Amino acid sequence: MINLEVAQFAQQVTSQNVVVLDVRTPEEFAQGRIPNSINIDVLAPNFIAEIAHLDKTLEYAVYCRSGKRSVDAAMAMDEIGFSTMNLIGGIIAWQESNQAIVP
């Protein structure tokens, strides 16, 4: 896992080989998300089973609300062979930096 500040994360998520992964709850995800992100709730009991279906040849830019859950998710993903990047400060930091959010 690589920890990235907002500017670095914003640059990385433009790559075609990067999947933006929101690990918040579906309710949080519905309130606004980083464009092109997919949602898999790290607190769900089937989180590991869900991420196991993802393509390990891609990189994953992981975020949550404040950066805590995304660290846990990225570490779990790294343990099973994924390459991950974590957004320091989560979507809160993203919004504070005036980055785009979509419904």
Q: Find residue 18's DSSP bridge partners.
A: 59
What's the pLDDT tens digit per position in 44-72? Answer: 999 999 999 999 999 999 999 999 999 99
Share of the chain above pLDDT 70, in %: 100
The domains located in the chain, with CATH, are 2-96 (3.40.250.10)
Give pLDDT, residue 90: 98
Active site residue ranges? 64
Long-range CB contacts (within 8 A, 24+) of 6-14? 6/87, 6/88, 6/89, 6/93, 6/94, 6/97, 6/99, 7/97, 9/61, 9/63, 9/85, 9/87, 9/88, 9/94, 10/94, 10/97, 10/99, 12/59, 12/61, 12/85, 13/61
Give pLDDT, residue 74: 98
Mean pLDDT for 11-28 is 97
Question: How confident is residue 7, by pLDDT bands cut at 50, 70 and 90?
Answer: very high
- CA–CA gap between residue 25 and residue 21 (Å, rounded): 12
